A and B are shown apart, each in its own frame.
Chain A
Amino acid sequence: MIGEGIKSTNQRKHSYVQDHVEVGFFTDPSVCIGCKACEVACKEWNQVPDDGFIWSGNSYDNTGHLGASTWRHVMFLEQDRQKGNQITGPMGLPTDSQSDLSAVAAAKAEDPFRWVFLSDVCKHCGEAGCLEACPTGSIVRTEVGSVLVQNDVCNGCGYCVVSCPFGVIDRRPSPLPDAGGAFKCTFCYDRQKSGLVPACAKVCPTESIVFGRLDDLRARANERVQHLKQNGYGDAQVYDPTETSVCGIHAFFLILGEPEAYGLPPKPQIPTIYLKSAWTAAFATAIASIIATLVGFAFFS
């Protein structure tokens, strides 16, 4: 956290992989400045290829969304909401007639505006859809609880893509390097094995991205929400779907407002919960087809 200096978990060396400690990311948009250093650090460290340079027209976000070649994505939300104890009023400098305080007070709450930046990333679900769906065993759970794609095993079947409730993992199209395989955030597993902090958290200048023990981060997030609420951020909440079949996420967020505005599903579910009813229908159809065929041949030939 800010003010902790070299004692911050973002700067310390650690042995979480060796000690099998569950770790996480806590990403806090209330201190994010939208510098995109996390995106750059991630691309550099992991040698993620350039996947195009397109002007979106969506605020300052030309990254678009998470995908096979985008593992951190800074969102830029422009909202007509109040930010903290923000004093709102007509835009521009006050003219003579507006300069007296009563006019400013009258115009208060007329034109609230806030700019929210949130660095999105793979959630590393407690129960991961991609991991369950993978037919090659390429996707595994690591010692620290993160979900890792082993690139050399993946044969690019594309089933993880439709099984992720957050739309994170994707198959990399040609002509990019290593095309055809599925890619997503690795939680910098290689760095973590060497006791280093993931590149995005290491580089984050405001410690909007905090890396550390999952239980510590959860406590810290709740504290932060309480603090923000006391300071006028009435709609601050933790986005961590623990009550759905996803069973909580390792990379969770503090969000201002509803999850929908961030493109986050309000109640994400792991698709394996649909298996029972689907297989029941499949077995029933299989049996019905055999019976129908036997009946057809027994009575009509």
Chain B
Amino acid sequence: MTTDSRSEKRLEQLREKAWQEGVVPGRGVDVVGGPIPRKPGYYGQPVVKPPVWTWEVPLYFFFGGIGGMSAVIALSGVLFHHIDLARMAMWIAAIAGAVLSPILLIMDLGRPHLFLNMLRVFKHRSAMSMGAWILTAFGTSAVAGLITLELHARQIFPGTLDQPVRLAVGIFIFAAAIFGTLLATYTGVLIGATAIPAWFLHRTFLPIHFGTAGLGSAAGVLELLGHRIAALNFLGFYAAAVETALLIWLSVDRHGAADRAIHQHGSGWLIRSGEILNGPLALVLRFFGFIPWAAISFLAGALVSRIGWIVVGKVSGADPEAVFASQR
């Protein structure tokens, strides 16, 4: 038997209390009229396991959203002859989606050196497996798209030799845009298709929220980097308006005890402040022309609400009443 000072202290504490008051302060006897209050379920123990994920995961959701949706903006930039904007967007897509996202995802693994095992199998019924493949496909096409776009923009191959480069730019950036939208939205599926009540009850909300937050964040980053054009302003309006509608949806679509982590405690405040920052506040700031402030507000909201959703998962997973309520 190991002597653990924490457990010895706990035992001493129990003995001391029992000696003085004749009542043990733990959870103890679960009898009507007994000295200790009843807890839901089995001594209040969690029924499902709360997520083990740490700070890397919400940050990955944030950067994956920016990177993925930047590729969509880059595709539109190429199509409508905003080459400088497209180059900047592809740099963001490559750095956020192909460098930062994989690093964060690998850091979160319990055994980072085995990260390549993710690509052993392709399982369409596992959102984590699909995500690993989407991230791989996005990273490859974003880096290839960036390289070919730079080759084209700097006119490395002059004259007719530039034709195949232009074709490659089109193919790679189109692929990056398609995989980018999936990278920004699959994270909602990832946490929506789990046993955590507050998550699976909002499984249609989450992909819409994460994807739209990614689009608004990508537009916001480009605006902050100096691309103040009407198209990005439109995207800022669109994203903030959708997020405002989502805030209303979340306030109306309540499931009582089953999703109370979203509406109560610190986790509820994280969700609420995140949604207000990237919803109504960003919308109002943009309406009055404070574009950089609107972009900053949206980015802050997108990050805070991502952190909020992971915290909600931890609170909801540890709450046995929430699990029972979601199944009754």
A133 vs B234: C-alpha distance when bound (angstroms): 38
Choose the segment among B113-121, B156-164, B252-260 that binds chain A (4+ C-beta atoms closer than 8 Å).
B113-121
Structural contact, B203 and A292, CB atoms closer than 8 A:
no
Tell me which of B26, B32, B132, B327 contacts A135 (CB under 8 A).
B132
Q: Tell me, yes or no, whether B52 is within 8 Å of chain A by CB.
A: yes
Structural contact, A135 and B207, CB atoms closer than 8 A:
no
Q: Tell me, yes or no, whether B289 is within 8 Å of chain A by CB.
A: no
The chain B residue sitting closest to A138, CB to CB, is: B117
User: Do most interface residues of chain B lie in helix, strand or loop, or is the interface mixed?
Assistant: helix
Known: A78-B31, A165-B48. A300 touches B42 (CB 8 A): no
Structural contact, A275 and B215, CB atoms closer than 8 A:
no
Using an 8 Å CB-CB cutoff, how does the interface string of B57-75 with A read, 1 for contact, 0 for none?
A: 0000000000001001101
Contacts of A268 in B (CB 8 A): 195, 327
Contacts of A287 in B (CB 8 A): 181
Q: Give chain A interface residues in 265-301, CB to chain B under 8 Å.
A: 265-269, 271-272, 274-275, 277-290, 292-301
Tell me which of A280, A293, A298 contacts B215 (CB under 8 A).
A293
Q: Tell me, yes or no, whether A8 is within 8 Å of chain B by CB.
A: no
Structural contact, B46 and A167, CB atoms closer than 8 A:
yes
Contacts of B192 in A (CB 8 A): 274, 278
Contacts of B24 in A (CB 8 A): 57
Q: Tell me, yes or no, whether B2 is within 8 Å of chain A by CB.
A: yes
B197, chain A: closest CB distance, angstroms = 10
Structural contact, B4 and A155, CB atoms closer than 8 A:
no
Structural contact, A135 and B126, CB atoms closer than 8 A:
yes
Contacts of B181 in A (CB 8 A): 285-287, 289-290
Choose the segment among A25-33, A46-54, A186-194, A223-231 that binds chain B (4+ C-beta atoms closer than 8 Å).
A46-54
Interface centre among A55, A67, A168, A171 (most CB of B within 10 A): A55
Q: Tell me, yes or no, whether B76 is within 8 Å of chain A by CB.
A: yes
Q: Tell me, yes or no, whether A56 is within 8 Å of chain B by CB.
A: yes
Q: Tell me, yes or no, whether A132 is within 8 Å of chain B by CB.
A: yes
Q: Tell me, yes or no, whether A41 is within 8 Å of chain B by CB.
A: no
A182 vs B49: C-alpha distance when bound (angstroms): 12
Tell me which of A59, A159, A265 contacts B327 (CB under 8 A).
A265
Q: Tell me, yes or no, whether A16 is within 8 Å of chain B by CB.
A: no
A279 vs B208: C-alpha distance when bound (angstroms): 10
The chain B residue sitting closest to A159, CB to CB, is: B128
Tell me which of A79, A263, A265, A289 contacts B212 (CB under 8 A).
A289
Interface centre among A64, A77, A286 (most CB of B within 10 A): A286
A118 vs B244: C-alpha distance when bound (angstroms): 49
Tell me which of A156, A281, A296 contacts B235 (CB under 8 A).
A296
Contacts of A157 in B (CB 8 A): 108-110, 118, 128
State the interface size on chain A (CB cutoff 8 A). Answer: 88
A172 vs B108: C-alpha distance when bound (angstroms): 14
Q: Tell me, yes or no, whether B196 is within 8 Å of chain A by CB.
A: yes
Choose the segment among B5-13, B91-99, B262-270, B280-288 that binds chain A (4+ C-beta atoms closer than 8 Å).
B5-13
A168 vs B7: C-alpha distance when bound (angstroms): 24
Contacts of B121 in A (CB 8 A): 135-137
Q: Give chain B interface residues in 221-238, CB to chain A under 8 Å.
A: 229-235, 238
A67, chain B: closest CB distance, angstroms = 8
Q: Tell me, yes or no, whether B28 is within 8 Å of chain A by CB.
A: yes
Structural contact, B126 and A132, CB atoms closer than 8 A:
yes
Tell me which of B111, B185, B230 contacts A301 (CB under 8 A).
B230
A147 vs B231: C-alpha distance when bound (angstroms): 52
Contacts of A299 in B (CB 8 A): 234
Contacts of B80 in A (CB 8 A): 297-298, 301
Tell me which of B27, B73, B127, B328 contacts A57 (CB under 8 A).
B27
Q: Tell me, yes or no, whether B1 is within 8 Å of chain A by CB.
A: yes
Tell me which of B182, B235, B327 contacts A266 (CB under 8 A).
B327
Structural contact, B49 and A169, CB atoms closer than 8 A:
yes
Contacts of A292 in B (CB 8 A): 215, 234-235, 238
The chain A residue sitting closest to B208, CB to CB, is: A285
Contacts of A269 in B (CB 8 A): 195, 327
Contacts of B32 in A (CB 8 A): 80
A37, chain B: closest CB distance, angstroms = 17
Known: A138-B117, A167-B49. A300 touches B126 (CB 8 A): no
Q: Tell me, yes or no, whether B140 is within 8 Å of chain A by CB.
A: no
Interface centre among A159, A179, A262, A283 (most CB of B within 10 A): A159
B contacts, CB < 8 Å to A: 1-2, 4, 6-7, 10-11, 14, 24-32, 40-43, 45-53, 69, 72-73, 75-77, 79-80, 82, 108-112, 114-115, 117-118, 120-121, 123, 125-129, 131-132, 177-178, 181-182, 184-186, 188-196, 199-200, 203-208, 211-212, 214-215, 229-235, 238, 313, 317, 320, 323-324, 327-328
Question: Can you name 7 A-B pairs with beta carbons within 8 Å?
Answer: A58-B27, A158-B110, A159-B190, A161-B51, A172-B110, A272-B193, A281-B206
